Amino acid sequence: MSVRVWGPALLLAVAVTGCSATASDSDSDSDASAHQRANTPQITKNVPLPGEEARKIIVPFDAYNISPAEGMTIDLAEDSLVGDCLRGRGMKWAALPYPAERDIEPPNRRRYGVVEPDAARVFGYHDPQDRPSMARLHAERDARTEKLSAEEQRAAYGDKAKSGPGGCLKKARDKLMKGAPEINVSLFNKRIKDAFDASQRDGKVKRAFHAWSGCMKEAGFHYKDPLAAVTDERWGAKKPSRREIRAARADVRCKEKTGVVRIWMAAEKRIQTDSVRRHPKEFRALKANKGAQLKAARRILGRG
């Protein structure tokens, strides 16, 4: 089980994908998630809550996308259905804990780079570590996966040699998707990427980038725009260096001083709104699909 998110999550991937959306398969994401956490810097300081600066980043496509919190609801409902199916076959399946809402990342936390002073101070440009309840969920899921026998793996996820999920997982997904209209996730990915790319070509955004770059230069860092800063190869070490943290903190201060996030978000809002207006049928289907999944998931979890 892993959070299903269609839209942008980590800006380190943006430079390559341009905020492209991803669709995950629960039978394979456990390994990927474990690998990602293994390569997260091991910092002993308290993990700060996602800041208001990140929570305030909202764009029109959010209404059609599945946020991390919504993805968590869908995936835990899916996980519950898999458990019912396995127990019906006489197999064990420990339920996973629902994390605290405040511990789940906002959907656009790193859309425009690092924007939170506390996160920059602790993690630099590295991905923030999990908050306590998220860490507990991941730990319990990983421990459960390790204990599954080959027979239980096949029953839960089907034959991994075949494409796509099988077994109880397929049944669970089919149930959650029942009545949901078909959507073209790849096309939605393209819309997200195109809007993100176009926003960087906006005149006001370019001027804001120039002002931000000048501010960073005064702090001793030379980058043409925020994407260049966050993707600096020097930040590839397991732990953030002192220089990385200084750069990230300067980045946040310069964003605040120059209004980069406000200007950039305004441009992307305009571009995304135009996209929704030009493709009403496509976006109605996206919203209906998301709504159907969430309604089914909340009913399964007894959350409305």
CB 62 within 8 A of CB 290: no
Q: Tell me if 5 is assigned to some domain.
A: no
Kindly calculate the radius of gyration of the chain based on its CA atoms and give it in whole angstroms.
20
Q: What tokens does 62 get?
A: 């959010």
Residues 6+ apart with CB under 8 A from 145: 30
Q: Tell me if 261 is assigned to some domain.
A: yes
- Per run of 10 residues, the mean pLDDT along the chain (length 304 residues) is 37 37 40 42 68 97 97 96 95 92 95 97 95 94 93 88 78 94 96 98 98 98 97 95 98 98 98 98 97 96 75
Gap between the Cα atoms of 69 and 74, Å rounded: 9
pLDDT at 303: 66
CB 117 within 8 A of CB 252: yes
The reported pTM is: 0.83
Q: Tell me if 1 is assigned to some domain.
A: no
Find the domain containing 132 and state its range.
11-301
pLDDT at 304: 52
pLDDT at 161: 56
Q: Tell me if 106 is assigned to some domain.
A: yes
Q: Which of 173, 210, 138, 166 is nearest to 297 (CA)?
A: 173
Q: Tell me if 3 is assigned to some domain.
A: no
Q: Tell me if 125 is assigned to some domain.
A: yes
Total tally of structural domains belonging to the chain: 1
Residue 49: burial class (beta carbons within 10 Å; 0-12, 13-18, 19+): middle
Q: Tell me if 6 is assigned to some domain.
A: no
Gap between the Cα atoms of 242 and 237, Å rounded: 12
pLDDT at 164: 64
pLDDT at 165: 74
